[in-house]
Each structure stands twice: as structure tokens, then as C-alpha cells.
């Protein structure tokens, strides 16, 4: 039983990270109907950015307070990752925004390849271990067989995710930016005719998604303790699975999907086989798409005859 | 004109619901063999929904859609087929089809129902001729021996393709598009695209041709040409036509039989003259209650 | 008098334009600085005690910023390029002549390579360039049926490639089959004829797999179909890695029998190809044979595709891409149409896969990643969907381009001995994908040739052609 609870805790933590990345996928797909293949690699980039700034602050500048360091790294990471996403959108996607769907897709795939190789070339192909921080744990149950621990990192991840979800939900539902986004999602041309700055709205959507990915990147880096240039593809696909599972276009759906994927992956590895955990995730993606394309919280997409 | 013989299509108690919305409510009518039947009504009355049910793009919530090719089927045959749960059956003198049980492509291929769409659905990247050849797909597939014979240039296929081109040429001449046969369909002007869509439907040699607002967006001259064209299809090919239309000159000009829908229900059914003077129909189009019709008419007549 | 006034007016305009360009370029430079600071400026390295330290590389940052600044500035002040002609008005039959010429060059290629680089160099040029590019051309033509003609977005094409390769490898190296063949026909039979028997079998298995996979997923639209096929591709790869008892996992399958010259092995034995034909033994013969074999396979793919385009099935594929609902209203069973496209495309992928296994002699799951699917898809899209010639050119450019990078050792003299051009291979590949899409979103061959015509064959502009929604 304790083992199960521990796996649940781990699963929810992992799921929160997936959820944060998934929001980026779902928002971009909702507004321009495109799967941003490069999003996973933007996430990977943010893990490196977080690592480098953390090291710069703690080692080079000798900043003592960990909390301050993490906070500064968070802000800087969000800013710079958003900058990258903004540039990528302007250069690789905006010129191709039109009716031909495949061109932006290929461009996105190319961008993804470019990013992961850029990091490989500039940072080296090997795993980079992260200096250990925030190692404290709370022991929840002192059971003899298996102590259930809840680490500060895990608390931080879940709390941050929940806060961000609420914040972004508020933005989408209550602010004018959110309204503009929803208008663009439904009918871009009409929104433009009504005075919505479509380009800016789309750019901001990318930026928001990237900012969340940056948060996920920082959390990922501190939690797993190792970063690698290859970490873009698989977490990216899993996060996309989460977005689809939750219903593409739905923000709470993305987080819900993320939690589910995280739980499934963790429980599968714990109880069945760690080798096939990715097969399980991809199979869920396939099954969801075949039987429930609109996902759990999404709206079905009907073509008018 | 009166119905000559038993009806081709019998719609019985057709209902279509989308969740809580009832789009078509217990509709029954029949389309006569070799006749032109028009379905009219204000926007949102459910006309295209009826079409989609008949042509298999929607699965009706309830009701029976009976199509009988060849001679009329007896009531016994119909009851028997309904009971078995199968979709179609051969009778002594023809075949009967329960359209509500059939998928859309089967209705087109086997029950020989062709249709056009409210928003033109051509193949824009293919030429005019290619559009007409694709329409004859099933016959050509059979002739090509499911591709295998065709792959090796069997004569049977070559001849079949030549015949298909001949038929396409015939229809190109009928709609005056022969000069543009090799142009991409997306390049044609709107009126020509509408004509092409009808020609393409006719290339499938249908027994029932369903046209969804064929006169939409046409100027009066084009509408008159369309009217003549549809009439010629009826007289020369004996094709029955089911027509959704708002342009009353077309409807009243050629229809043998008119069905009027409002809010998914039938409010009138009969020859054009009868329907034209039916107060319920007038009320629906004017948007007033039935009782006020006389007043409004008096107002209009100066 | 007016010209003097104009001249006077344009001079402040020119300087204003220059000033604006400078400001813009400065902005770009700052942007580049912002992008470069984390990733380029500080490199994470592990020092001797295996701790992570940061290595500053501000020099590279300066170079990057300077490059961005000058590139942007030049772009802004350069005179406007002349408007691109809407459509290249090529003489009629140009495509045909070009194809014929290319075919001639292709058939003579091994001899050309031999003449230019001698026996030692020729193996590399024929194999790494010729055969490699041709495999991708064949894959591109196979995927072209699915994506280009039928408009079904398949992101997992590598799955069929893998099925073909592993089917061939496992069948050819399987002990039960070997002993069965030895008992039934004779000991020497199987190693010589395995390839010729297993090639069609592998292709059929891939086609069958295509039908199996296609059945549940082909009713999905557009992006969803793409993602599901991607998922399937990954599942196949993961199963290949993890199902060790059957596939040997990461270790792969080795000892795959090589193709023989219809029964004559390509070795230096008495009954070998060289001995029988009275030639001196060299591994070049097998390479040349493999080259002509892949040429034959690719040409077969091409011929079948061109024939099918003119048959009802091919027209149905293209009509499906244009408007699926219209197809159904004409009585076409679009599910079957999609399945045939999927299956035939898969079959060709499988053929390519088994050829690949035979050429390598060894296969492992690492050759069948999502990257391969992405590369083949880019080739199809870049070529101009549906165009055979376009796909071939795109494959040549992209694969040839990346292979050429291996040859550029002379760059080491410029950038220093630590510079490894191959590292930048994929980097440039990704960049090329983005740039080529921006330049030609509709592909290199931006028009479609009708499959039947009444009077004359007029090309359809690419903008008219739909891309399909799955």
C-alpha cells in the first residue's frame, strides 16, 4: 500500500511537469491548428538555460540563498525561453501561416531537429549532472516496509503547477488577451476584421506556452538532476499525448491529461515493466485518438456536409 | 403533372435529432418516379438535413427511407425486408433499398442516388474532365479487374476508359464546358462550377438526383438555363429529381410536386399551385402567424 | 528640372532608409545576443573531478551577433529582388526530357564513379551516395503515394521500412527456415537464394502490416492521423528494442545473407561471381550489383505509381485528397481507397527495408527512428506532393547534401582540427528544412500533371491542388 501511495505521489509530480508542457501544445493547436513539434525541444532548451543560470548564479557569482537563486533563474529562464519561442514563431511559422497545413509542420520538425542539434553542438552530447539542491524530504508514513516520502521538490512542482494553471485559466477566461485568443481560435479572419491584432495574439500564445515550458524545465532540472539534449522528443510526445487525452484546446484538459499520463507511466513502470512504459504511453495516445478523438474535456469537431 | 405509377422514394416518419435539437420531426412524403420534387422552406427548416439522411451522410434517428428501382415493390416485400434487418433486396421486378441502413457511398453506388452540395464540392485540383471520369469510378474499377488487369493495359479496360470519356464528353457538351475540359475545376467561374457538379452527378447514371440549392448565386439568365437543363434531364433520361431550392422561379417552373418544411415539420405537400396558395406556407415565409396572413396579403395588394 | 528635384528628394530618403536599416539590424543583433547568452555563451563541461563547470565562450557569441547584424543589414538594404515569375514556363515535354537524361546518368553512374575515383574511391561513392540516395528516393516515392497522392498524413512511415527490414533479416537468418531449406533443397541453397525469396515476402508483410495499421486509424482526420501514425512508428521501434528474444534488442540482427548474382555469391570462391565471369575478385562487384538492384526497385516503384495514377484507383486517391465527402457522394468507398494507398505505400517501404537489410548485413533499431519518417516526409513535401521527379530531386538534394558534408575535411583547415563537419550535419539539415519550406512551401515542382486530358495536357498550379485532410 505504501508503495502504491509513493508511486501515486511520484506520478502526480511527473504528471504536473507533463501538464505544464502540454498547455503549450494545446494553446498553440487551439489557436492556429498546428502541432508545434519544436515545443518539446524548447522545453529541453529551457532545462539547459535553467541549469546554466543556476550554475552561473551559485558558482560564479556565489549567490548564497537558494530561494533567491531559483527565483532569479525562473524569471530569467521564462524570459529567455519565451524569446526563443517568439523568434521561432516569427521566423519559421508566421511566413507559412496559410491554408497549406504541411509546410508549417515540416518547418516545425526542422526547427525541432535544429534545436536539439544546436544544443548538442554547443553544449556537448553527454548527460549533464545538476548540482544537487533541495534534497530534503518529508516522511509521511514511517512504515517499516516502505517509508513514503514527499520531497520538497515534489511539493514545489505540484504547487507551482496548480498556481500557474489557475493563473492561466484566469487569463484565458477573463482578460482581453484570453478573449482575443478564443476569438482567433474560432474564426481568425473575423477576429482580424473586428480589430483583434491576430499576429500579436498568436505570438503571445507561443510566448505563454514557452514560459510554462520554462517553468517545467526548471522543475524538471531540479527534480531529475540530469539534463541532456535528447530530452526534447520523448517528453514532448508524452506531453502532446497528454494534451490530446485531455482534449486538445482545453487548458484544464491538458493538465488533467498530463496527470493521467504521469500516473500511468509511473504505475506501469512500478507494477509491470519499465522497458515498455513508453509503449504504454504511445498506445494510450493511439487508442485515445481512435476512440475518443476529442479527448476527455474537449469538444467534438464536426465537419459540415 | 400527376405521379405516373408508384413512387421512387418513400420517406416515412423520418426524424433526426442532434442531442436535444430536433432537426426533422416525423416527416413523410414521397418522390414520384420520373418527377421533379422540390423541398422548400425557410432557412433552418431542416431541408439539407433531410438530404443528408436520404443520401446517407447522417444516420436518421428513426424512420424508413425506401427506394425502389425497377418496378414497384409490393408491400409484402417491403415488410419482409424491413424485418430481416438487411439493407436491400431484389424483388421480382427490381430492387428495393432501405436507405436508412446504408452508408453514403453505398447509397450512391448501389441505390443510384447522386447529389450535389450547398457549398460546391468539386475536385478543384483536378481538371474538368478528370472530375467527370472520377464519377465513373466504380464501373472503371470493375473493368480494370480491380486494377490488376488495368495495370497491364488489358483491352477491356482501355475500351471501358474510352467509353467513360465519351460519356464525359456528352455531358461536357450538355453543360457547354467542352472548351474547358482540360482546365482545373477550381479555375471555373461559379456558374460553370455549379453546372459541372450536376454533370458530374449525372455521370454516375443515377435514378434519383438530389440537388441542394442548385440555383444559389446564379443570376436570372443562369437560373433559366438551369431550369431548362433540369427539365431536359427529366425528359431525356427519365431521372427523378429531388430539389432543395429558394428560387421560386425554378421551383414553380419545373416542379411536379412540392413539399414545404418549417422547423423540421411538413406544413404542406402537393402540386406547385396548391402549395403556392396555401396560407400556412405563406405564413411561414412571411414570418407571421397563420391567422394574420389574409391581413398581410391585403396590405401587400396595393 | 524634375529629375534634379527627384535626386534631391531621394538622397535624404536613402539615408533615412539606411538609418532605419541600421536600427533594425541593431535590434536583430541584440535579439541574437539574447538568444545566444544561455546556450552559446556558457558551455557546461565536466572538469577533471567530474563536477560541472561553466566555460565561457564569448568569442562565439560575438561572431554570432556580428553575423546576425550584417546579415540583417544587408538583407534590408539590398535592392529588391525581381518578382518571381508565377510559373516557370518550361517548354513542353521538359520534364520528360529531364527525366530521360537523369535516367541515363543514373544508369551510367557506377562507371562514371569508377572512372573518376578508381576502384578504392568508387565503393564509397557508389554506396554512400548512389545507393543511399536511391533508397531514400524509393522511400520518398512510396510515401508519395500515401501523402502526395492520397493526402493521408503519415508520420510513421519508418514502421513499414522497419517491418520490411526485420522481416527479411529474421526470415533469412532464422534457423528453422535454414534447416528446412537445407533438408528440402540442399545446404547451399538458402544462403544464395534467401534474398530473392525474402524480398517479396518482406514487402508483402509490410503491406499486410499497412492494412492492419490502417484499418482503425484511417477514419481520423488530418493532424490526428499524423499523430497516430507517429505513435505507431514509435511503438514499433520500442517493441524492436525491447522484444529481445525475437529481435535481439539493441544488438540487432547480424549475419544477414547478402544478395547473390542469381545464385552466384559475391565472394572470392571458385563458384563466385568473379571466378565464373573470369574477373579478378573485388568487393566492388557486389556494390555495383546492389546499385543496379536498388535502381531497378526504385524504377519499379516509379512505374507502378505512374501507371496507378492513370487507373481508377490512382484517380480515386487524388480525388480523395481533394474532397473526401464528394468522393463518397459519387459511390467511392473511401475507406478501401485509403487502405489501398496505405498498403501499397507500405509495401514499397517494406521492399526498401529488405533491400536495406541485405545491403547492410546487419540491422538494429537505431536505424528506424522517427527521424527517418521525418526525413522521408520532408522529401515528399519538398519535392512537391505527387510529383515523382520532384521527390527524386528533393532526395538527391537533402541526402546528397548531408552525405557531402562528410567529405568536407578541408574545412578543418579553416576552422581548426577540432571542427567536425559531421556534427553539423543534422543541424544544417534541420535549418535547411525550415528555409526550404519558407522559400517553397508547395515544394520544388509546384504543379500537377493531369492523368487524362481531352485536347492537351495543361499543368495545374500547385495552389489549386488540395493537400488532403486524411
Band of pLDDT at residue C424, cut at 50, 70 and 90: confident
Three-class SS state of B8: strand
Instruction: Tell me whether residues A101 and C424 touch, CB distance under 8 A.
Output: no
CB of C293 less than 8 A from some CB of B: no
Helix, strand, or coil (residue B36): strand
Report the alpha-carbon distance of residue B242 to residue B257 in Å, rounded: 10
This model of the complex carries an ipTM of 0.88
Q: Find all residues with CB under 8 Å of C370, minimum gap 6, and list them.
A: A233, C155, C156, C158, C230, C233, C234, C237
Nearest to B129 among C307, C334, C452 (CB): C452
Domain count, chain A: 1
3-state secondary structure of C33: helix
Chains with 3+ CB–CB pairs under 8 A to C are: A, B
**Taking CB atoms and an 8 Å cutoff, what residues of chain C touch B164?**
none
- Chain B residues with CB inside 8 Å of C465's CB? 124-125
Residue A39 lies in a domain: yes
- Residues of chain A with pLDDT > 70: what percent? 92
Neighbours of chain A (3+ CB pairs under 8 A): B, C
Is B125–C333 a contact, with Cβ atoms under 8 angstroms apart?
A: no
Identify the DSSP state of C220: S
pLDDT at B1 over 50: no
Q: Is C453 in the B-facing interface, judged by CB distances under 8 Å?
A: yes
Domain membership flag for residue A304: no
* pLDDT of C19: 82
pLDDT score, position A145: 61
- Region C403-422 average pLDDT: 66
- Residue A304, SS3 per DSSP: coil
What is the overall mean pLDDT for chain C?
Answer: 82
List Cβ neighbours of A65 (8 Å cut-off, separation of 6 or more): none
Domain span at C51: 10-77
Q: Which among B114, B124, B151 has the least Cβ separation from residue C466?
A: B124
Alpha carbon distance B202, B24 (integer Å): 28
pLDDT at C181: 74
Q: Is residue C428 part of a domain?
A: no
In this prediction, residue B2 carries a pLDDT of 43
Grid coordinates representing C353 are 527495408
What distance in Å separates the CA atoms of residue A119 and residue C35, rounded to the nearest whole number?
12
Task: Tell me the nearest-neighbour CA distance from B131 into chain C, angstroms.
Answer: 8
Q: Which class would CATH give B1-112+207-271?
A: alpha beta
- For residue A29, give how far its alpha carbon lies from the nearest alpha carbon of chain B (Å): 27
Residues C146, C70 share a domain = no
A286 and C228 Cβ atoms separated by less than 8 Å:
yes
Distance from CA of A297 to the nearest CA of B (A): 18
The residue among C379 and C112 whose pLDDT is bigger is C379
Integer Cα distance of B147 and C343 in angstroms: 14
- Min distance B137 CA to chain A CA atoms (Å): 22
A245-290: per-residue pLDDT in tens? 888 878 888 999 999 999 988 888 888 877 788 888 888 888 888 8
CATH number of the domain enclosing A230: 1.10.3470
Q: Any chain B CB within 8 A of the CB of C306?
A: no
Nearest to C430 among A33, A103, A111 (CB): A111
pLDDT of residue A300: 66
Q: Would the CB atoms of A129 and C52 count as touching at under 8 Å?
A: yes
- Same domain assignment for residues C342 and C295: yes
Q: Are residues C134 and C250 in the same domain?
A: yes
Do the strands B36-40 and B257-262 form a parallel or antiparallel pair, or are they unpaired? parallel
Inform me whether the C-beta atom of residue C457 falls under 8 Å from chain B C-beta atoms.
Answer: yes
Domain-wise residue ranges, chain B: 1-112+207-271, 122-205
Q: Which chains touch B (3 or more CB pairs under 8 A)?
A: A, C
Domain that holds residue A259: 2-291
Q: What is the DSSP string of A264-280?
A: HHHHHHHHT-STTHHHH
**Residue numbers in C near A94 (CB within 8 A):** none
pLDDT at B54: 93
| CA C161 – CA C373 distance, rounded (Å) | 9
The Cα of A191 is separated from the nearest Cα of chain C by a number of Å equal to: 24
- Beta bridge partners, B90, equal B95
What is the distance between the alpha carbons of residues C47 and C57, in angstroms, rounded to a whole number? 16
Largest CA distance in chain C: 102
Q: b/e for B180-190, b at 16 or more Cβ within 10 A? A: bbbbbbbbbee
**Would strands B257-262 and B265-270 be described as parallel, antiparallel, or unpaired?**
antiparallel
Q: Are residues C291 and C367 in the same domain?
A: yes
As given in the structure block, the three cell numbers for residue C102 are: 537523369
Domain count, chain C: 2
DSSP letters, B83-152, are HHT-SEEEETTEEEEEGGGS-HHHHHHTS-EEE--SS----TTSBHHHHHHHHTHHHHHHHTTTTHHHHT
Which DSSP string do the residues of C50-67 spell out, in sequence order? S-EEEEE-HHHHHHHHHH
Q: Is the pLDDT of residue C209 over 60?
A: yes
Which of residues C123 and B205 earns the better pLDDT score? Answer: B205
Distance CA B14, CA B63 (A): 4
Segment A132-154, tens digit of pLDDT: 766 666 666 555 566 677 777 78
Using the beta-carbon criterion (under 8 Å), do C329 and B187 form an inter-chain contact?
Answer: no
* C467–A102 CB contact, under 8 Å: yes
Of C322, C453, C461, the CB nearest to B123: C322
pLDDT value, residue C289 = 85
Residues C199, C64 share a domain: no
User: Which residues in chain A have their CB less than 8 angstroms from residue B57's CB?
Assistant: 305
C-alpha cell recorded at residue C339: 487502405
Residue A177: inside a domain: yes
If you measure CA to CA, which chain A residue comes closest to B212? A305
Least confident of A98-112, B181-195, B196-210, C325-339: A98-112
Radius of gyration of chain B (CA): 21
| Of residues B150, B169, B178, nearest to C311 (C-beta) | B150
Among A129-133, B23-27, C286-290, where is mean pLDDT lowest? Answer: A129-133
Q: Which of A156-160, B205-209, C5-9, C281-285 has the lowest mean pLDDT?
A: C5-9
Is residue A302 less than 8 Å (CB to CB) from chain B?
no
* Closest CA of chain B from C311, distance in Å: 7
As given in the structure block, the three cell numbers for residue C105 are 546518368
Chain C stretch 5-34, residues whose beta carbon is closer than 8 A to a beta carbon of chain B: none
More confident residue, A136 or C18: C18
Give the DSSP per-residue string, C154-199: -S-THHHHHHHHHHHHHHHH-HHHHHHHHHHT-TTHHHHHHHHHHH
User: DSSP secondary structure string, A187-203?
Assistant: -HHHHHHTT--HHHHHH
Contact C381, A96 (CB under 8 A): no
Instruction: Give the model's pLDDT for residue C10.
Output: 62
Chain C residues close to A120, C-beta within 8 Å: 423
Chain segment A94-130, per-residue pLDDT in tens? 988 876 778 888 899 999 999 998 888 888 888 888 7
Q: What is the pLDDT of residues B56-89, one digit of tens each?
A: 999 999 999 988 887 766 777 777 777 777 777 6
Which of A99, A300, A304, A305 is the best residue to mutate to test the B interface, defined by the most B CB atoms within 10 Å of its own CB?
A: A305
> What per-residue confidence (pLDDT) applies to C11?
67
Q: Which residues of A touch B48 (CB under 8 A)?
A: 305
All residues of chain C having their beta carbon less than 8 Å from the beta carbon of residue A287 are none
Judgement on whether residues C52 and C199 belong to the same structural domain of the protein: no
Q: Where are the beta strands (DSSP E) in chain B?
A: 7-18, 21-32, 36-40, 62-70, 88-91, 94-98, 113-115, 208-212, 240-244, 257-262, 265-270
Q: Which of A25-39, A218-232, C306-320 has the highest mean pLDDT?
A: C306-320
- Taken in order C355, C356, C359, C362, the sign of the CA dihedral is negative
Helices (H) and strands (E) in chain B, counts: 13, 11
* Beta carbons of C450 and B105 less than 8 Å apart: no
Same domain for C288 and C379? yes
User: Which cell goes with A25?
Assistant: 501544445
B with C: how many residue pairs have Cβ under 8 Å apart?
Answer: 138
Question: Which residues in chain B have Cβ-Cβ distances shorter than 8 Å to C443?
Answer: none
pTM for the whole structure: 0.87
Domain assignment present for residue A302? The answer is: no
Higher pLDDT pick, B79 / C356: C356
B58: chain A residues, CB-CB within 8 Å? 305
B115 contacts on C by Cβ (under 8 Å) = 329
Select the residue of C54, C217, C227 nearest A35 (Cβ to Cβ). C227
Helix (H, G, I), strand (E, B) or coil at C253: strand
Cα–Cα distance for residue pair B118/B213, rounded to 1 Å: 6
Predicted confidence at residue B199, as pLDDT, reads: 95
The shortest C-alpha distance from B252 to chain A (Å) reads: 27
The Cα of A99 is separated from the nearest Cα of chain C by a number of Å equal to 9
Amino acid at each position: 500500500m505504501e508503495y502504491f501511495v509513493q508511486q501515486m505521489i511520484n506520478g502526480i509530480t511527473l504528471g504536473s511537469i507533463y501538464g505544464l508542457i502540454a498547455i503549450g501544445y494545446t494553446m498553440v493547436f487551439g489557436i492556429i491548428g498546428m502541432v508545434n513539434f519544436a515545443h518539446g525541444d524548447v522545453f529541453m532548451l529551457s532545462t539547459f538555460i535553467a541549469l546554466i543560470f543556476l550554475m552561473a548564479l551559485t558558482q560564479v557569482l556565489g549567490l548564497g540563498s537558494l530561494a533567491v537563486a531559483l527565483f532569479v533563474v525562473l524569471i530569467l529562464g521564462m524570459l529567455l525561453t519565451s524569446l526563443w519561442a517568439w523568434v521561432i514563431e516569427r521566423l519559421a511559422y508566421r511566413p507559412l501561416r496559410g491554408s497549406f497545413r504541411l509546410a508549417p509542420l515540416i518547418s516545425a520538425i526542422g526547427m525541432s531537429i535544429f534545436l536539439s542539434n544546436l544544443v548538442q553542438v554547443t553544449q556537448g552530447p553527454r548527460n549533464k549532472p545538476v548540482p544537487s539542491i533541495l534534497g530534503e524530504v518529508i516522511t509521511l508514513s514511517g512504515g517499516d516496509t516502505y517509508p513514503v516520502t514527499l520531497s520538497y521538490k515534489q511539493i514545489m512542482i505540484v504547487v507551482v503547477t496548480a498556481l500557474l494553471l489557475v493563473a492561466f485559466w484566469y487569463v484565458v477566461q477573463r482578460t482581453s488577451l484570453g478573449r482575443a485568443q478564443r476569438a482567433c481560435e474560432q474564426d481568425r479572419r473575423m477576429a482580424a476584421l473586428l480589430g483583434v491584432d491576430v499576429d500579436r495574439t498568436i505570438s503571445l500564445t507561443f510566448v505563454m506556452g514557452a514560459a510554462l515550458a520554462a517553468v517545467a524545465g526548471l522543475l524538471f532540472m531540479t527534480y531529475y538532476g540530469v539534463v541532456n539534449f535528447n530530452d526534447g522528443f520523448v517528453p514532448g510526445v508524452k506531453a502532446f499525448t497528454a494534451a490530446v487525452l485531455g482534449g486538445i484546446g482545453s487548458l484544464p484538459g491538458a493538465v488533467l491529461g498530463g496527470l493521467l499520463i504521469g500516473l500511468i507511466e509511473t504505475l506501469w513502470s512500478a507494477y509491470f515493466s519499465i522497458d515498455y512504459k513508453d509503449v504504454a504511453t504511445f498506445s494510450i495516445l493511439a487508442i485515445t485518438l481512435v476512440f475518443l478523438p476529442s479527448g476527455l474535456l474537449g469538444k467534438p469537431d464536426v465537419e459540415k456536409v | 403533372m400527376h405521379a405516373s405509377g408508384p413512387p421512387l422514394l418513400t420517406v416515412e416518419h423520418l426524424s433526426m435529432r442532434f442531442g436535444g435539437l430536433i432537426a426533422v420531426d416525423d416527416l413523410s412524403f414521397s418522390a414520384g418516379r420520373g418527377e421533379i420534387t422540390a423541398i422548400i422552406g425557410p432557412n433552418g427548416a431542416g431541408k439539407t438535413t433531410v438530404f443528408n439522411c436520404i443520401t446517407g451522410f447522417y444516420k436518421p434517428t428513426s424512420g424508413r427511407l425506401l427506394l425502389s428501382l425497377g418496378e414497384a415493390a409490393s408491400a409484402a416485400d417491403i415488410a419482409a425486408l424491413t424485418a430481416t434487418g438487411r439493407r436491400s433486396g431484389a424483388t421480382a421486378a427490381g430492387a428495393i433499398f432501405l436507405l436508412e441502413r446504408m452508408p453514403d457511398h453505398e447509397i450512391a453506388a448501389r441505390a443510384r442516388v447522386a447529389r450535389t452540395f450547398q457549398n460546391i464540392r468539386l475536385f478543384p485540383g483536378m481538371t474538368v474532365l478528370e472530375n467527370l471520369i472520377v464519377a465513373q469510378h466504380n464501373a472503371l474499377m470493375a473493368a480494370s479487374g480491380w486494377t490488376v488487369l488495368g495495370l497491364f493495359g488489358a483491352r477491356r479496360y482501355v475500351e471501358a476508359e474510352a467509353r467513360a470519356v465519351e460519356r464525359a464528353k456528352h455531358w461536357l457538351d450538355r453543360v457547354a464546358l467542352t472548351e474547358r475540359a482540360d482546365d482545373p475545376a477550381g479555375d471555373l467561374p461559379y456558374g460553370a462550377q455549379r453546372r459541372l457538379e450536376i454533370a458530374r452527378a449525372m455521370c454516375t447514371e443515377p435514378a434519383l438526383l438530389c440537388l441542394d440549392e442548385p440555383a444559389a448565386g446564379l443570376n436570372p439568365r443562369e437560373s433559366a438555363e438551369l431550369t431548362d437543363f433540369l427539365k431536359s434531364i427529366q425528359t431525356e433520361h427519365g431521372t427523378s429529381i429531388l430539389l432543395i431550392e429558394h428560387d421560386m422561379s425554378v421551383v414553380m417552373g419545373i416542379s411536379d410536386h412540392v413539399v414545404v418544411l418549417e422547423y423540421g415539420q411538413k406544413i404542406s405537400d402537393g402540386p406547385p399551385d396548391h402549395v403556392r396558395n396555401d396560407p400556412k406556407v405563406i405564413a411561414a415565409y412571411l414570418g407571421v402567424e397563420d391567422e394574420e396572413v389574409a391581413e398581410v396579403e391585403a396590405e401587400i395588394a396595393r | 528640372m524634375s529629375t534634379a528635384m527627384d535626386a534631391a528628394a531621394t538622397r535624404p530618403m536613402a539615408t533615412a532608409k539606411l538609418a532605419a536599416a541600421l536600427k533594425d539590424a541593431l535590434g536583430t543583433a541584440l535579439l541574437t545576443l539574447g538568444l545566444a547568452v544561455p546556450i552559446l555563451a556558457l558551455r557546461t563541461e565536466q572538469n577533471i573531478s567530474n563536477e560541472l563547470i561553466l566555460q565561457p565562450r564569448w568569442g562565439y557569441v560575438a561572431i554570432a551577433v556580428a553575423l546576425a547584424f550584417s546579415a540583417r543589414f544587408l538583407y534590408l538594404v539590398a535592392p529588391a529582388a525581381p518578382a518571381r515569375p508565377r510559373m516557370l514556363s518550361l517548354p513542353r515535354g521538359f520534364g520528360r526530357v529531364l527525366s530521360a537524361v537523369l535516367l541515363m546518368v543514373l544508369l551510367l553512374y557506377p562507371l562514371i564513379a569508377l572512372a573518376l575515383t578508381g576502384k578504392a574511391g568508387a565503393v564509397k561513392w557508389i554506396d554512400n551516395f548512389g545507393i543511399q540516395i536511391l533508397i531514400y528516393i524509393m522511400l520518398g516515392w512510396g510515401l508519395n503515394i500515401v501523402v502526395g497522392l492520397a493526402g493521408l498524413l503519415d508520420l510513421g512511415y519508418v514502421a513499414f521500412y522497419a517491418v520490411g527490414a526485420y522481416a527479411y533479416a529474421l526470415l533469412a537468418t532464422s534457423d528453422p527456415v535454414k534447416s528446412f531449406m537445407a533438408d528440402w533443397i540442399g545446404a547451399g541453397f538458402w544462403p544464395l537464394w534467401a534474398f530473392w525469396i525474402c524480398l517479396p515476402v518482406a514487402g508483402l508483410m509490410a503491406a499486410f502490416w499497412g492494412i492492419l495499421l490502417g484499418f482503425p486509424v484511417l477514419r481520423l482526420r488530418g493532424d490526428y492521423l499524423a499523430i497516430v501514425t507517429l505513435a505507431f512508428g514509435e511503438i514499433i521501434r520500442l517493441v524492436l528494442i525491447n522484444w529481445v528474444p525475437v529481435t535481439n534488442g539493441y544488438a540487432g540482427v547480424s549475419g544477414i545473407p547478402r544478395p547473390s548474382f542469381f545464385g552466384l555469391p559475391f565472394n572470392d570462391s571458385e563458384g563466385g561471381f568473379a571466378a565464373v565471369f573470369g574477373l579478378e575478385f573485388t568487393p566492388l562487384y557486389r556494390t555495383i550489383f546492389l546499385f543496379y538492384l536498388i535502381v531497378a526497385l526504385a524504377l519499379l516503384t516509379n512505374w507502378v505509381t505512374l501507371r496507378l495514377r492513370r487507373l481508377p484507383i490512382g484517380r480515386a486517391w487524388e480525388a480523395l485528397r481533394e474532397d473526401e465527402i464528394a468522393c463518397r457522394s459519387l459511390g467511392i468507398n473511401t475507406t478501401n481507397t485509403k487502405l489501398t494507398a496505405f498498403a501499397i505505400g507500405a509495401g514499397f517501404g517494406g521492399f526498401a527495408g529488405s533491400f536495406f537489410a541485405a545491403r547492410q548485413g546487419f540491422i538494429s533499431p537505431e536505424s528506424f527512428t522517427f527521424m527517418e519518417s521525418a526525413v522521408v516526409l520532408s522529401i515528399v513535401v519538398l519535392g512537391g506532393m505527387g510529383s515523382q521527379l520532384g521527390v527524386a530531386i528533393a532526395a538527391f538534394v537533402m541526402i546528397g547534401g548531408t552525405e557531402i558534408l562528410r567529405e568536407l575535411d578541408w574545412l578543418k583547415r579553416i576552422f581548426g582540427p577540432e571542427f567536425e563537419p559531421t556534427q553539423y550535419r543534422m543541424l544544417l539539415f534541420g535549418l535547411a528544412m525550415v528555409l526550404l519550406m519558407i522559400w517553397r512551401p508547395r515544394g520544388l515542382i509546384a504543379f500537377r500533371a493531369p492523368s487524362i486530358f481531352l485536347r492537351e495536357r495543361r499543368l495545374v498550379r500547385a495552389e489549386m491542388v488540395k493537400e488532403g485532410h486524411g
